[in-house]
Chains A and B, each alone.
Chain A
Amino acid sequence: MKKFLTILGIILTFFIIYFLQANFFTWFTIAGVMPNLFIILVIFIGLFIGKKSGLVFGLLFGIYLDLLIGKSIGISGIMLGLIGLLSEYIDKNFSKDSRLIIMLIVAVSTAIYEIGIYAFQIIRWKAMLEILPFLKILGIEVFFNVILVIIIYPIFQKIGYMVENLFKTKQFLTRYF
């Protein structure tokens, strides 16, 4: 029952983030650049729930986003799924207790996700390659996501360990490394 409620909570969080991104963050921007909270959510799932749930939730959330507003179905799903999978592997090798590590994971994941999305734009939709404007937007987005992680880190970690105790029976002792 608790597991079911947690999954329901994650889905609810996804919709809250969606409405935040579509309304609040369309004007609360840094130089017109929005953050990407979906990446943080998928990292959270990958790190604390594991068992390939990061991949599954990432795929489903991404496909849903593509259906809602995307130009083609699948790329956001693939990239978010990849981020989910990546954070599960990171969980096995790094400590989640360090705020710095979480900030680094979010920064690298945001960069991977957006490079993937932009590369797809160029390959599939023949978009013009604009390296400097892209790097500028990417830099601001990474900075924005990292700042948001610093703010939500206490809640991120507290809820994270509660969820981890529910889902992960065999505890890895990576947090003591």
Chain B
Amino acid sequence: MYKNRKTGIIGVIITIVILILVVILSNTDIKEISYLENIFNSIVMPIQNGLTYLKNKIAGNDSFFVEMDTLKAENEDLKKKNSELEQSLRELEIIKSENDTLKEYVNLKDKYPEYQTIPAYIINRDINNYTKTIVINIGEKDGIKPDMAVIADQGLVGHVISTTENTAKVQTIIDTSTSISSLISTSREAIVVNGTLEDNSTLRATYIPTDATLLENDNIETSGLGGIYPKGIHIGTIKQIVNTKNSIDRYAYIQTAVDFEKLETVLVITNEKEE
């Protein structure tokens, strides 16, 4: 099998290490690896400081270095205060996150009082890179039917495409085959919003009227046309407008209101409450 078994094992181990590194690096935000920045800085900075000192000496403006000791002491003091503040901030963040979770679970219904809704948990997510469907833990037994709209605390999630007795499949708005008739909340112009392959929090707005005024951070909501999504549900905000040569073809990228990576609880709208 192997000419040299040991070499084969080492090869496999190296491949595993490379794979783990690729996974970590490709999913890490540059802000989260500031410790790496610190390491690289500590290699270059002492030399850079020395060079700056020399440059200032030659230029004759070395008065800056006279107050170095005072500044160092002040810096230490500030660092101490900063770490104390960070500690309290962390504690507050924990309380805030607990509060958010409780609010999500208990008061989710209160946010949409005009609709009759049923809360549900996401029990399964798509295992394909090109479709974005989810499975929720309520089904026909709870009165769920295809084409019912699904929302979350922050906004629109998608619509039910099929049901079993105890579960329902939901096609999310980030799925590439989703098209939603929408409105720009400020100018009330009608647009069509589609899911894209770009990432899990971006939608694409097309069919933008040529005379429509589009601004970044404008809110987008459902128009109520099409018969699936009720009117006025928040979809997201415009994050980038792409102008093309022909203004008919211009499009915009929309940041979804819902964070689909962290989504756990949803509400299925069974019908609109009668006044």
User: What are the residues of chain B within 8 A of A15 when measuring CB–CB?
Assistant: none
B22 lies within 8 A of chain A by Cβ: yes
Closest 8 CB pairs of A and B: A125-B177, A133-B197, A127-B176, A31-B26, A21-B127, A127-B177, A150-B15, A30-B26
A118 is contacted by which of B130, B133, B175 (Cβ under 8 Å)? B130
A121 is contacted by which of B23, B124, B177, B204 (Cβ under 8 Å)? B177
Q: Quick check: A69 and B126 within 8 Å, CB to CB?
A: yes
Known: A126-B177, A154-B1. A71 touches B196 (CB 8 A): no
B45 lies within 8 A of chain A by Cβ: no
Interchain nearest-CB distance for A83 vs B (Å): 15
User: What are the residues of chain A within 8 A of B204 when measuring CB–CB?
Assistant: 128
User: What are the residues of chain A within 8 A of B176 when measuring CB–CB?
Assistant: 121, 125, 127-128, 130
Interchain nearest-CB distance for B248 vs A (Å): 17
Of residues 98 to 150 in A, which have CB atoms within 8 Å of B's CB atoms? 114, 117-118, 121, 125-128, 130, 133-134, 137, 141, 144, 147-148, 150
Other 7 A-B pairs with CB < 8 A, given A70-B131, A127-B195 = A117-B130, A125-B177, A127-B176, A134-B197, A147-B15, A148-B19, A150-B15
Closest chain A residue, CB of each to CB of B14: A150
Q: Within the assembled complex, what's the spacing in Å between the Cα atoms of A72 and B161?
A: 10
Known: A21-B127, A118-B130, A121-B177. A154 touches B197 (CB 8 A): no
Q: Number of residues in B with C-beta < 8 Å to the partner?
A: 39
User: What are the residues of chain B within 8 A of A147 when measuring CB–CB?
Assistant: 15, 18-19, 22
Q: Quick check: A69 and B27 within 8 Å, CB to CB?
A: no
B27 is contacted by which of A18, A29, A70, A117 (Cβ under 8 Å)? A29
Q: Quick check: A30 and B133 within 8 Å, CB to CB?
A: no
Q: Within the assembled complex, what's the spacing in Å between the Cα atoms of A69 and B135?
A: 7
User: What are the residues of chain B within 8 A of A28 when measuring CB–CB?
Assistant: 23
Between-chain CB contacts (< 8 Å), 26 pairs: A21-B127, A29-B26, A29-B27, A30-B22, A31-B26, A33-B129, A65-B127, A69-B124, A69-B125, A71-B171, A71-B177, A121-B177, A125-B176, A126-B179, A128-B176, A128-B204, A130-B176, A130-B196, A134-B130, A134-B197, A137-B129, A137-B197, A150-B15, A151-B19, A154-B9, A157-B1
Q: Quick check: A151 and B16 within 8 Å, CB to CB?
A: yes
User: What are the residues of chain B within 8 A of A159 when measuring CB–CB?
Assistant: none
Q: Quick check: A128 and B135 within 8 Å, CB to CB?
A: no
User: What are the residues of chain B within 8 A of A121 when measuring CB–CB?
Assistant: 130-131, 176-177
Q: Within the assembled complex, what's the spacing in Å between the Cα atoms of A137 and B133?
A: 17
Residues of A within 8 A of B (CB): 18, 21-22, 25-26, 28-34, 36, 65, 68-71, 97, 114, 117-118, 121, 125-128, 130, 133-134, 137, 141, 144, 147-148, 150-151, 153-154, 157-158
User: What are the residues of chain B within 8 A of A33 when measuring CB–CB?
Assistant: 129
Q: Quick check: B196 and A69 within 8 Å, CB to CB?
A: no
User: What are the residues of chain A within 8 A of B163 when measuring CB–CB?
Assistant: none
Chain B contact residues: over half helix, strand or loop, or mixed? mixed
User: What are the residues of chain B within 8 A of A25 when measuring CB–CB?
Assistant: 127
B61 lies within 8 A of chain A by Cβ: no
Known: A125-B177, A151-B15. A32 touches B127 (CB 8 A): no
B12 is contacted by which of A22, A30, A114, A150 (Cβ under 8 Å)? A150
Q: Within the assembled complex, what's the spacing in Å between the Cα atoms of A36 and B126?
A: 12
B69 lies within 8 A of chain A by Cβ: no
Interchain nearest-CB distance for B28 vs A (Å): 10
Q: Within the assembled complex, what's the spacing in Å between the Cα atoms of A148 and B12?
A: 10
User: What are the residues of chain A within 8 A of B23 when measuring CB–CB?
Assistant: 28-30
Q: Quick check: A128 and B124 within 8 Å, CB to CB?
A: no
B234 lies within 8 A of chain A by Cβ: no
